[in-house]
């Protein structure tokens, strides 16, 4: 499943069952909003909390701690947190009536961006913790249990990854055969619409040895497919085991050597950081899946400039030509913003034109949302909601058509599939295609974790039906 900036998603801990033996333990309910990096962070926070005696639960009513891991990317995403906090406040009051405490914590990008303002607007919140300080969570919680209201949004000087516990092997196994692994955090690009440089701070790459150790641990727990994450994942760099400076391409080759790891992906990339080595990896590294999320945001050079993307539409198309020359069957994915300040009908048509030129396998479309503190919010020429709506619909229609075209082109082909989990219907299992679509197969087709060849026999709205090849 592609989870690009989904506004609210009960993933990670909220959907996990708790170990039977932990009934006396304190319980934490985590709800995750936003991008894959938040999904990853929620897991790491759950691991830190497990070491502190909190078992995960997906039943909010029984939680001693409710943790919202939030997203600030668009206004709608940020506001959702406050309506959720309203509901949780009532639950907390109910619980207090029964003589039981419930702590409420807000983590993630809203926590970082709004800090103490959250407690002002929602006084039932006990702790606010920014993404750079998750390793301090047990300490923060101990203070919160003592009745203190806590806002922890400093940029920690110590490396949080160094201090966060790794999941136990059983926990890795329980999370499934695909996993996220954050290798890079933060962003120095300052696109004029975007809050990420303010909520996640400047670019930091995790060291090679740390990443390799974590990937090995995942593989030992049965993970077959790892997606490397970063706000600008292809800006990742580090000193490799040979003492040389490595880029993401080199790192991918290294990770592909780990026994058991059969599939690798990375997201999200910036067009300016696609170097030759990374492009070559798409040609020479079979484990690297032929799917690339490479957001362009707009097809108009004028708008790209106003967005501070620092490349043109032509640069982007030339880059895709190079990527396709390396790997012909690669499916491109992207993000688009419609209705950026000053976007004319001609600018928007340039975006439609670019989409037609590229032919996306999938893509995500967003209406521009002015964000406090970003240069875009201060620009002239904000567009009426109705114009943004209309453009969003037109772009969405074109992308849906391309997505449909891509999916139907797979019918009759034999493709590799990683069997991921039991299907919703009895007798079925669900796998994952190289291009991220769910593949529905007969449950006897293979065991979870197997990678098998299947023949595609038909399609659902965004899924594939297959029989053993
Ligand atoms: N680092 C990635 C994007 C991270 S944010 C990149 O540079 O491409 C994920 C997506 O959210 C962006 O690609 C953009 O399409 C969208 N987005 C970011 N800020 C937005 C805003 N203010 N309004 C609407 N969409 C936005
Ligand atoms: Fe935001 Fe631009 Fe950085 Fe992506 S590259 S996270 S859009 S500032
Ligand atoms: Fe949202 Fe923060 Fe991710 S703003 S998209 S959760 S980096």
The percentage of residues in the chain with a pLDDT greater than 70, rounded to a whole number, is: 95
Q: What is the pLDDT of residue 462?
A: 86
Residues lining ligand 3, Cβ inside 6 A: 5, 34-35, 37-38, 71-73, 108-109, 195-196, 199-200, 231
In angstroms, what is the span from residue 106 Cα to ligand 1's centroid?
22
pLDDT bracket for residue 241 (50, 70, 90): confident
- 316 sits in which H/E element: helix 313-326
pTM recorded for the entire structure: 0.94
Q: 359's torsion region: left (phi>0), alpha (psi -120 to 50) or beta?
A: left
Residues lining ligand 2, Cβ inside 6 A: 187, 189-191, 194, 196-197, 231-232, 270
In angstroms, what is the span from residue 6 Cα to ligand 2's centroid?
16
pLDDT bracket for residue 359 (50, 70, 90): very high
Q: What is the pLDDT of residue 18?
A: 42
C-alpha closest to that of 122 among 157, 158, 80: 80
In angstroms, what is the span from residue 185 Cα to ligand 2's centroid?
11
Q: What is the pLDDT of residue 297?
A: 98
Q: Is 72 in the pocket of ligand 1 (CB under 6 A)?
A: no
pLDDT bracket for residue 6 (50, 70, 90): very low
Phi, psi (deg, nearest 5) at residue 314:
-65, -40
> Quick one: which atom of ligand 3 is closest to the CA of 72?
4
Phi, psi (deg, nearest 5) at residue 182:
-75, 125
Contact between residue 173 and residue 167 where contact means Cβ atoms under 8 Å apart: no
State yes or no: pLDDT of 5 exceeds 80.
Answer: no
Q: What is the pLDDT of residue 24?
A: 61
The per-residue pLDDT of the chain, averaged, comes to 93
pLDDT one-digit tens code per residue, 38-82: 999 999 999 999 989 999 999 999 999 999 999 999 999 899 999
Can you spell out the DSSP letters for 198-222? HHS-S-EE--HHHHHHHHHHHHHTT
Mean pLDDT of 422-446: 96
The percentage of residues in the chain with a pLDDT greater than 90, rounded to a whole number, is: 86
Q: What is the pLDDT of residue 2?
A: 35
pLDDT one-digit tens code per residue, 340-351: 999 999 999 999
Q: What is the pLDDT of residue 168?
A: 84
Phi, psi (deg, nearest 5) at residue 307:
-80, -10
Q: Where are the alpha helices (DSSP H) in 276-344?
A: 276-284, 301-306, 313-326
In angstroms, what is the span from residue 109 Cα to ligand 1's centroid?
14
Q: Is 316 in the pocket of ligand 1 (CB under 6 A)?
A: no
State yes or no: pLDDT of 20 exceeds 50.
Answer: no
10 Å Cβ neighbour count for 286? 12
Mean pLDDT of 206-235: 96
In angstroms, what is the span from residue 446 Cα to ligand 3's centroid?
36
Higher per-residue confidence, 464 vs 8: 464
């Amino acid at each position: 499943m592609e989870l690009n900036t989904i506004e609210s998603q009960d993933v990670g801990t909220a959907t996990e069952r708790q170990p039977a033996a932990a009934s006396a333990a304190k319980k934490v309910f985590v709800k995750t909003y936003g991008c894959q990096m938040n999904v990853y962070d929620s897991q790491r926070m759950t691991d830190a909390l497990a070491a502190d005696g909190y078992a995960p639960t997906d039943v909010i009513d029984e939680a001693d701690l409710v943790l919202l891991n939030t997203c600030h990317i668009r206004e709608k995403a940020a506001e959702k947190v406050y309506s959720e906090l309203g509901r949780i406040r009532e639950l907390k009051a109910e619980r207090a009536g029964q003589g039981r405490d419930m702590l409420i914590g807000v983590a993630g990008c809203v926590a970082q961006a709004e800090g103490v303002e959250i407690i002002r607007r929602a006084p039932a919140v006990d702790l606010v913790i920014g993404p750079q300080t998750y390793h301090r969570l047990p300490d923060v919680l101990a203070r919160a249990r003592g009745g203190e209201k806590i806002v922890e949004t400093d940029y920690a000087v110590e490396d949080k990854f160094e201090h966060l516990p790794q999941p136990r092997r059983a926990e890795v196994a329980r999370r499934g055969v695909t996993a996220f692994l954050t290798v890079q955090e933060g962003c120095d690009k300052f696109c004029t619409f975007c809050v990420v440089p303010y909520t996640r701070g400047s670019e930091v790459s995790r060291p090679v040895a740390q990443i390799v150790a974590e990937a090995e641990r995942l593989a030992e727990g049965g993970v077959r497919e790892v997606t490397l994450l970063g706000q600008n994942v292809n800006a990742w760099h580090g000193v490799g085991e040979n003492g040389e400076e490595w880029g993401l391409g080199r790192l991918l080759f290294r990770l592909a050597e780990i026994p058991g790891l059969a599939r690798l992906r990375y997201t999200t990339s910036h067009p300016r950081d696609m170097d030759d080595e990374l492009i070559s990896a798409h040609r020479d590294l079979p484990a690297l899946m032929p799917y690339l999320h490479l957001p362009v945001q707009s097809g108009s050079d004028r708008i790209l400039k106003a967005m501070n993307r620092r490349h043109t539409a032509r640069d982007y198309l030339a880059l895709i030509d190079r990527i396709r020359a390396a790997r012909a069957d690669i499916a491109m994915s992207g993000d688009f913003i419609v209705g950026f300040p000053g976007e004319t009908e001609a600018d928007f048509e340039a975006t439609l034109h670019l989409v037609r030129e590229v032919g996306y396998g999938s893509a995500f479309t967003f209406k521009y949302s002015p964000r406090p503190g970003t240069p875009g919010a201060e620009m002239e020429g904000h567009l009426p909601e109705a114009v943004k709506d209309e453009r969003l619909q037109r772009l969405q229609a074109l992308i849906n058509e391309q997505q449909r075209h891509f999916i139907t082109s797979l019918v009759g082909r034999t493709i590799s599939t990683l069997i991921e989990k039991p299907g919703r219907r009895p007798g079925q299992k669900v796998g994952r295609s190289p291009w991220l679509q769910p593949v529905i197969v007969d449950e006897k087709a293979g065991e979870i974790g197997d990678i098998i060849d299947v023949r595609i026999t038909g399609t659902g709205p965004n899924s594939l039906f297959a029989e053993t090849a």
